[in-house]
Amino acid sequence: MQDFGQAFTLAFQLIVSADPTLSEIILLSLRVSLSAVTIASVIGLSIGATVGILRFPGRGALIVFLNALMGLPPVVVGLLVYMTLSHAGPLGWLHLLYSPTAMIVAQTILVTPIIASLSRQVIEDLYREYREQFLSLGVPPKTAVAALLWDARYSLLTVALAGFGRAVAEVGAVIIVGGNIKHVTRVMTTAIALETSKGDLALALALGLILILIALSVNTTVSLLRLSASNSAYA
Amino acid sequence: MRHYPTPRLWCVRIVLSLTLGLLLSGISQAEERFIILQSTTSTQNSGLFDAILPRFQTQTGIEVRVVAVGTGQALKNARNGDGDLLLVHAKPEEEAFVAEGWGVKRYDVMSNDFVIVGSADDPAGIAGMQEAGAVLRKIAQIQGAFISRGDESGTHKKERALWKIAAVDPLKASGTWYREAGAGMGATLNTAVGMRAYTLTDRGTWLSFRNKADYTILVEGDPKLFNQYGVILVNPAKHPHVKADLGQQFIDWLVGPEGQSLIAGYTIAGQPLFFPNAPGG
Amino acid sequence: MPSDLRPERVLTDAAQPLFPLNVHQLVYTAGTQRLIDGIDLALEQDSRTIIMGPNGAGKSLLLRLLHGLLTPTEGEIRWGETPRMDQARQRQALVFQRPVLLRRSVGANLRFALKLRRYTRAEREERLRHILELANLSHLVDRPARVLSQGEQQRVAIARALVLEPEVLLLDEPTVSLDPASVEVIEELILAAHRRGTKIILVTHDRGQARRLADEIVFLEQGRIVEHSPALQLFQQAGQPQGVAPTKHIPSPLEGEG
C-alpha cells in the first residue's frame, strides 16, 4: 500500500506548514483532554485516597466496581452524556450539547475511574509503608492524606498520564456529544474518523501520526519532569 | 494554624483556577451567533458544507454548526430539540416530522442520485443494467456480497425501498452475502471496498470518496435512484430555544438564488455533485 | 537536666507522669498462635531497658504493643497515670528496624515531624539545626532522604524521633547490618537522649550493643519473659548474658525449642 509513505509525507508537510486548521484541532484536543484529566484527577484522587486509606464495609466490592468502570466503552459514556445534555434531557437547559464543555464532561467520566482505580493502588501501597510511622508520629488524617499524595506525586502523575492517553485517544464519546463540528468541536480523533469515512486514508493516517506525536511529547515532558525531580528531592 | 508545605497549596490553587476557567470558557461559548444543523454523513462527506457555509457566514455573521449523523439519528436528535435545522434526504420521514409538528415546513433544496458501485470484475454482471430492482434481484440470485448501511439513514431507507421493488428480503441473508455495516456512508464504502462487495451510495459521497481502489459506478440513471434533499426548521413551538430567526434566514438563503447557485457550482473533477431544485430558486 | 534541647513542653496532659510503666498479663494472638503469651512487666523511667531474645520471641511485637501500634488481645498496658494509649504515644517515639522516611529531603523529613507540634518557625529551624549537628547529618540536609546509605537513613530516622524530645524512645533493632561508624553515632545519640532524661527501650540481637547500652535486660522467649535483671548483675555473673542461659533455660537464637 502506497498510503503509508504518503501518510508520512503528508504528516510532515502538515507539521511544517503549521496548517491553521490543524493547529486549531490540536489545541482543542489538548484543551478538552487536559481539562478532563485535571477535573478527573481532583475527583479520582479524592476517591483513590479515600478507598486506599480507609477500611469500610463494601470496600472490596467498590474496588472491583471501580476497576470494571475503567473499561467503560466511550460510546456508552457518550450516549449517556448526550441523553443528559440533550435539550430533551434533564440538563438540556444548560445548552452544553455540541460544545467543548460537553466533550470535557464525557471524557471526565471516562477518565475518573482510571485515575481513581490506579491512584487507589498507588496510595494504598504507600500508606502500607507509612502507616505505622504516621501512627507513631501522631499525624492527623488530613495531614496524612496530603503527605501521601505529595510523596506519591510522580506515580500519580503517571496515573494522570494514563488517563490523558485514554482521553486524547477516544473518539466514541466526543463524536456523539461534540458532534464533530468544524472549528467548534472537531478534535484529532473525530477528524481522523471523518477523513477515514471520506476514504482519505493517507490524510487520516497522517493525523494519526500527529496524534501519536502529541501523546509522545506530553509523555516526554512528564518523564523529564520526573527525572529531574528524582535527581533532587525525590527517590 | 498548622503550616502545611507550600507546594500543596499552589497545587490546589492551580487545579481550582484551571477548573473554573475551563467551566467559564465553556459557558461563554453559548452566547455566540450560531445555529446547529442536523445533517447526514453523505452531505458532510461530499464536502458541500465546506464549500458553501463560509460564504453564508461572511454575509450574515451566522455560523452554521453541522452535526453529521445518519438521517434517522438526525431526525431523532431534532425531535429532542438538539438542533435548529434539519437537512436530510428521506422525504416520507421528513414529511411525517413536519406533520407531527416537530418541524415548521419542509423545503426542497437539491437532489442528486444514488448509484450502485462495485469492483471491476463485477461477479453478478450488473454493469450497465438500467433497472435498480432487477440489479438487486440479480445480486441476490448469485448471492453476491452486498454491504448495506444498516443505520436507518436516508440511503438505507432508499436501499430498502429498492429491495422491495426487487421483491427480495435481504434480511433473511443477513450475515451471509447481505452485510449490514451500521456505519456512515464513507465508512460503508471503505467496508465495501475491503470486502469487494456491491453497495448503494449517493453520487456526492462517491465522487468525493478517495479510497476507490478499482471500484466504479456500475448502475445509474434509474429514476427510482433519485435522491431528494430537504431542509426543515425545527418547530420553536415544540422547542422554544430554537433560533427560528437565524434558522429561517439560513433556509431563505439556501433555497434562494445565492444558495442555489453555490450548490450548482460545487463540482469535483468537473462533475456537479448536487442539482439545486428549490421551487423558488 | 541539660537545657540545650529541653523544650517548654506544650502538651495538654504533661502533668500526668508516664511512669512507672505497668504491663499486666499481656496477650497478643494471631489466629490460634499466642505470639505474646502473658507478659507482666514493670519499667521505671531512668533505666535503659534492653529487650533480647531469639527470632520470633515477640520482641518487636512487644515494642509495638507498648507504643500502642497494636491493640492487646488480653491484658493491660498502663503508662503511669496516662489514661489513653494515644496520649502516651504522643510523648514517645519509635524507631523501626527499617527506617520509614518520606520521599523528601532530610530537612523536609524532620520539618514534617516538627510541624506536627506547635513550634514556631524559628523554634523549628533551631531544633532542626541542632539535631542535625548532633546526628552528624548537617551536610546532608538538602539531600533526598531515600538515596542515603542505610546508616545515614537510620540516623535521619533517629534524629526525627529525637527532634520532638520524646519522653520515651523505643528502638527496634536500629543498627542491624549498619556500618560501624553509623552504629557508633546512633549509640551515642541514644546515650545522649538518655542523659537528657529520655527513657530508652531497645530491642537488639547484638550482645556487644546490649553490654554497651543496657541498664537492665529483659529476655523474651516464645512470647514470655524468662529473665528480667539489671545488666550489671548479668554481665558480672557470666561475662556474657548467654552465660545465664543454661541455668535459666534460655536457648541461643540458633537452638530452636529449648
How many structural domains is chain B composed of?
2
Residues of A in contact with B186 (CB under 8 A): 196-199
* Contact between chains at C94 and A136 (C-beta distance less than 8 A): yes
* Cα dihedral A26, A30, A36, A38 in deg (nearest 10): 180
Both B120 and B259 in one domain: the answer is no
**Domain range for residue A49?**
24-225
pLDDT one-digit tens code per residue, A111-136: 999 999 999 999 999 999 999 999 99
Interface mutation target, options A122, A133, A142, chain C, most CBs of C under 10 Å: A133
Both B236 and B218 in one domain: the answer is no
pLDDT one-digit tens code per residue, C19-75: 899 999 999 999 889 999 999 999 999 899 999 999 989 999 999 999 999 999 999
Q: B209 at the A interface (CB within 8 A)? A: yes
pLDDT one-digit tens code per residue, C158-169: 999 999 999 999
pLDDT at A223: 84
Mutual orientation of helices B91-99 and B71-79 as an angle, nearest 10°? 10
Both B218 and B234 in one domain: the answer is no
Helix, strand, coil content of chain A in percent (nearest 5): 80, 0, 20
Interface mutation target, options C105, C109, C110, C115, chain B, most CBs of B under 10 Å: C115
Both B159 and B263 in one domain: the answer is no
ipTM for the complex shown? 0.83
Q: Would A135 be classed as within a structural domain?
A: yes
* Contact between chains at A137 and C116 (C-beta distance less than 8 A): yes
Please state the separation of Cα C98 from the chain's center in Å.
13
Both B141 and B190 in one domain: the answer is yes
* Contact between chains at B4 and A146 (C-beta distance less than 8 A): yes
Both B221 and B118 in one domain: the answer is yes
pLDDT one-digit tens code per residue, B120-169: 999 999 999 999 999 999 999 999 999 999 988 889 999 999 999 999 99
Chain B closest CA to A57's CA: distance in Å? 30
Whole-number Å distance between alpha carbons of A151 and A144: 10
Whole-number Å distance between alpha carbons of A214 and A30: 9
pLDDT at B28: 47
CB atoms within 10 A of CB B273: 23
The DSSP symbol for C144 reads: B
Q: Would B246 be classed as within a structural domain?
A: yes
Q: Which residues pair with C233 in a beta bridge?
A: none
Q: Which residues pair with C42 in a beta bridge?
A: C22
CATH number at residue B58: 3.40.190.10
Q: Would B49 be classed as within a structural domain?
A: yes
Strongest mean pLDDT among A12-16, A226-230, C212-216: C212-216
- Mean pLDDT score of chain C, rounded to an integer? 85
* Contact between chains at C96 and A235 (C-beta distance less than 8 A): no
Whole-number Å distance between alpha carbons of A137 and A157: 28
pLDDT one-digit tens code per residue, C61-110: 999 999 999 999 999 999 998 888 888 999 999 999 999 999 999 999 99
Both B182 and B120 in one domain: the answer is yes
pTM of the predicted model, to two decimals? 0.82
**Residue closest to C222 by CA, chosen among C39, C18, C6:** C39
pLDDT category at C16 given cuts 50, 70, 90 is confident
Q: Would B19 be classed as within a structural domain?
A: no
Both B212 and B120 in one domain: the answer is yes
Whole-number Å distance between alpha carbons of C226 and C229: 10
Average pLDDT over residues B215-221: 95
pLDDT one-digit tens code per residue, A127-177: 999 999 999 999 999 999 999 999 999 899 999 999 999 999 999 999 999
Both B132 and B94 in one domain: the answer is no
Reply yes or no on whether the pLDDT at B10 is more than 60. no
Q: Would B57 be classed as within a structural domain?
A: yes
Task: Give me the percent of chain C exceeding a pLDDT of 70.
Answer: 86
CATH number at residue A170: 1.10.3720.10
Nearest to B81 among A38, A92, A104 (CB): A92
**Residue closest to B124 by CA, chosen among B100, B154, B146:** B146
Both B119 and B153 in one domain: the answer is yes
Q: Would A210 be classed as within a structural domain?
A: yes
3-state secondary structure chain B: CCCCCHHHHHHHHHHHHHHHHHHHHHHHHHHCCEEEEEEEHHHHHHCHHHHHHHHHHHHHCCEEEEEEECHHHHHHHHHCCCCCEEEECCHHHHHHHHHCCCEEEEEEEEEEEEEEEECCCCCCCCCCCCCHHHHHHHHHHHCCCEEECCCCCHHHHHHHHHHHHHCCCHHHHECCCEEECCCCHHHHHHHHHHHCCEEEEEHHHHHHCCCCCCCEEEECCCHHHEEEEEEEEECCCCCCCCCHHHHHHHHHHHHCHHHHHHHHHCEECCEECCEECCCCC
Whole-number Å distance between alpha carbons of A93 and A85: 8
* Contact between chains at B211 and A199 (C-beta distance less than 8 A): yes
Interface mutation target, options A135, A137, A156, chain C, most CBs of C under 10 Å: A137
Both B136 and B162 in one domain: the answer is yes
Q: Collect all residues with Cβ–Cβ distance below 8 Å to A144 and sequence separation of at least 6.
A: A53, A130, A134
**Domain range for residue B145?**
113-225
How many structural domains is chain A composed of?
1
* Contact between chains at B65 and A181 (C-beta distance less than 8 A): yes
* Contact between chains at B211 and A184 (C-beta distance less than 8 A): no
Give the chain C residue nearest A126 (alpha carbons): C102
Q: Report the Cα–Cα distance between both ends of chain B, in Å, rounded.
A: 76
Whole-number Å distance between alpha carbons of C247 and C254: 18
Q: Would A4 be classed as within a structural domain?
A: no
Average pLDDT over residues C109-138: 93
- Cα dihedral sign, B110-B116-B119-B120: negative
Both B242 and B203 in one domain: the answer is no
**Residue closest to B70 by CA, chosen among B228, B209, B185, B191:** B185
